[in-house]
Amino acid sequence: MPETPDGLLARLAALGIETRTVTHPPVFTVAESQALRGSLPGGHSKNLFLRPAKRAPGPHLLAVLQEDRQVSVNALARAAGAGRVEMAPAEDLRALLGVEPGSVTPFGMVNAPAGAVRIVLDAGLLRDHPWVHVHPLVNSMTTAIRPADLLRFLEGLGHRPEVLEIPPPGG
């Protein structure tokens, strides 16, 4: 069974990781998130879940980007050294991250089998904000976490998060 939002938040609390979580109507796009957010200071993310193109061997790629970051999927894959990629289907989201479309989050790595998913995080998102806002496995909640604590949590799960300088558009 995939981890639940309550289970995830309990894990974070047990590790002494401070979080702030708000509940809201489900959001499926950055624009919907911006309309509902009110005053949640910090960086807000958008997440792309990609698989190797044409079902080539290799891990899926979870990219956690600053919400306003403009980058082509191909440029992102090149920067991550991931080869050719394509958007992963909903069944891959469910099987590997334990989340539904619209709820993609770095916290989904709590469900990812070892070696099945590479996670890359936008260096600007982590560097420029004291808090980062992500979904705690569902898109009807948003959790703020400090960037260093997010990295520590992912490492504690046995995943090696990669911090990546994202190329500008056309880069």
For residue range 56-102, what is the model confidence (pLDDT) as tens digits?
Answer: 788 999 999 998 888 889 889 999 999 899 999 999 999 999 999 99
pLDDT, mean over the chain: 91
The answer, yes or no, to whether residue 9 has pLDDT greater than 80, is yes
The answer, yes or no, to whether residue 25 has pLDDT greater than 70, is yes
- Output the CA torsion sign for 142, 148, 153, 157: positive
**How far is the CA of 124 from the CAs of 17, 68, 69, 99, in angstroms?**
22, 11, 9, 25
Which domains are present in the chain? 5-163 (3.90.960.10)
- Region 134-155 average pLDDT: 96
Q: Among 2-11, 33-42, 47-56, which stretch is predicted with the lowest mean pLDDT? A: 33-42
pLDDT band for position 145 (cuts 50, 70, 90): very high
On whether the CB atoms of residues 31 and 67 are closer than 8 A, the answer is no
Residue % of the chain over a pLDDT of 90: 73
- Output the CA torsion sign for 77, 149, 47, 113: positive
- Region 9-32 average pLDDT: 89
Q: By C-alpha distance, which of 98, 93, 125 is closest to 110?
A: 98
The answer, yes or no, to whether residue 104 has pLDDT greater than 70, is yes
- Region 3-10 average pLDDT: 98
C-alpha–C-alpha distance, residues 120 and 134, integer Å: 14
The pLDDT of residue 35 is 65
